[in-house]
Structure 1
């Protein structure tokens, strides 16, 4: 191929979430080896993504396989990478790319979700078996996708999400802020899987401690009602959604991720990068991120009493907060930066482009 290989990064969503923030971090962390373009069906989203790196072109397409095929024929990418918020997302893009045969095709699995819809499951599996590369953002996520869609062990590789890390960490606490005076932060869409209801129940066991929920979603009214019933409405702040998470963490003392499941947890990575001590559910890829509890407190998912105990212990011990915050930041600097993530994707793309394309019509049988 002449010149730099062209890579098309694709997202099919109409709003920015954690998967898109991770994709934006990738765009910003890439070097000049590849001619990177961004595409999708929502102009504000793709424009926002392209803005992470000066000069990155973006393209907006309509829905359906024909519109996606036209986009690919016009751009003629050497490699297409689809950013999937769930494994069955972007079928039109993946189908069109696989049918054209020219581009190598890679998918990135941000949520290791399963479906009980048999036609949807079979379509998802059929596309996945024909990919040139299939990536999950944690080892737990890779194993689940392999199992849910009968892809075979080792067929999905792991590339952790990363975040830009600049400047110094925020203070992990203030000498005059201890015990009942601390602020607990939590970032994520307001959804039952994110477990904000568990944090509210824990807050009722922590007199004087305040909580800040950053995010939006259908559960906002239910969470406000739950807080009122628990008598903690005056200690709960809901800020709405923002992509400027660092600004919301500046005066937070403890970060909490009470999710019932997280494939990895981008917001948790951002909090760790900020040097905050973290308390999180031992679910999905979170123990992998927190190094088995060495870089943060792990509690059983859905256990408000255990969550309150972990937060309360850190609230009472400024020294422990500072030590845990330092370990968390060092963990991110060592393994979860945007630059490290980008280097791993560039290495994957080089391998995929150098190898023969995956079989499209009759794929190899899954690995046992």
Structure 2
């Protein structure tokens, strides 16, 4: 057996390897774990996109099970045979979509099994849906360790699902504070030519444009600011939403119907998120549910004040009155008020942004995240700790 083959293999099972916070966290983790400790393979229930090119570590096998829409009973057999072929020492599933694989992994002889909770979706915002809770409780005995990206999810796993506290570890996402940094000079010009005006006030957001992210509330808050004033003038006010998804068309239609299309830029998915963030004045995250948002951390690392909804893990990242503002979900009026404050109070945006950047450097580094995952993996595989 070669040295490479003797290195323990971890299979990371996810729904699809595409643009998203969970997927970004997985790529960051693989890129920052010590390369000689574990081998990695990614099994995608559906498939992958060019997002896989962000993996910097060579030799990562990416397998697509090609699950069909709805109930595809055949995908269970394909997944079982894939696990039998790979023979991993450990499987790490993520979120409800991957949890059923814990049963197949046990049947395939995968002895060590980890499950991560990264946030709830639109179908079960508060984790209370009976059949989903029942599924989690039934599969719980098969899982050796849980990882929760927020305290909210950690408490829910223990109090609602019944996981043993000693088998649950809270590991927050990390952020690349070298790639995401404050602008060093004048604001970057973003959007099409002529989109940015003199002293523009740019409201920015980044994320999948799915219902759970609720960008429509941000669009309505933007239109309220244009209509009612009291904040940035229409000549200065701009809206930027980076990301693609089923709600993008509806947002564009609402902006167009209001005559505000020229003041907004919704370009779809982009690979240049870091420089685009440096062109923003404030960052808004209007989600209905969240784990520990990567984009919020990236905005904080970029020196931006963050306005986020008071849901899930957001209160663990955004400190109201210190690094940003928390608002109720689905409330465009309060969201508009929070945005308006950053224009009418001189220096507030810069002050909150500086504190946000400082907090990222102190608490949310990629190295800290990778070391925390490594400790969980080592504890299960009984790998000796790294010396030095």
Q: TM-score range by the shorter chain?
A: 0.7 to 0.9
Q: Deviations over 1:9-45 (max 9, x none)?
A: 2223263322111111111111135222122237963
1:263 aligned to 2:291?
yes
Structure 2 gaps, min length 5: 68-74, 188-195, 227-233, 384-388
User: Aligned partners of 2:260 and 2:51: how far apart in 1?
Assistant: 37
Per the alignment, residue 274 of structure 2 pairs with: 246
1:219 counterpart (241, 244, 247) = 247
Secondary structure of 1:164 counterpart = coil
Tell me the CA shift for residue 229 of structure 1.
Answer: 4.4
The offset of 1:165, in angstroms, is 1.8
Task: After TM superposition, list the pairs within 5 Å mapping 1:1-368 onto structure 2.
Answer: 3-13=6-16, 15-41=18-44, 45=48, 48-49=51-52, 51-62=54-65, 64-84=75-95, 87=96, 89-91=97-99, 93-112=101-120, 113=124, 114=127, 116=129, 118=131, 121-151=133-163, 155-166=167-178, 169-171=181-183, 181-207=200-226, 208=234, 209-291=237-319, 293-317=321-345, 319-354=347-382
Match in the other structure for 1:358: none
TM-score normalised by structure 1 residue count:
0.84
Give CA-to-partner distance per residue, 1:337-356, whole Å, 9 cap, x none.
Answer: 2221111000111112239x
CA 1:6 to 1:213, structure 2 compared with 1: closer, same or farther past 3 Å? same
What is the SS of the residue equivalent to 1:205?
helix
Contact residue 18 and residue 50 of structure 2 kept, 8 A: no
Q: For the structure 1 residues 283 and 293, does the alpha-carbon distance in structure 2 shift closer, same or farther, using more than 3 Å as the test?
A: farther
Kept in 2, the 8 Å contact 1:254–1:278? The answer is: yes
Asked whether the 8 Å contact 2:148–2:171 carries over to 1, the reply is yes
Deviation at 1:126, TM superposition (A): 1.7
Aligned length, in residue pairs = 351
Summarize the Cα distance change of 1:254–1:179 in structure 2 as closer, same or farther, 3 Å threshold.
farther
Backbone CA RMSD of aligned residues:
3.1
1:189–1:160 CA distance, 2 compared to 1 (3 A): same
Tell me how far 1:190 sits from its aligned partner: 1.7
Tell me by how many angstroms 1:6 deviates. Answer: 2.5
Give the 3 Å change call, closer, same or farther, for CA 225–55 of structure 1 in structure 2: closer
- Quick check: 1:194–1:261 contact (8 Å CA) kept in 2? yes
CA offset at residue 194 of structure 1?
1.6
Change (3 A) 1:216 1:320: same
CA distance in 2, matches of 1:322, 1:333: 17
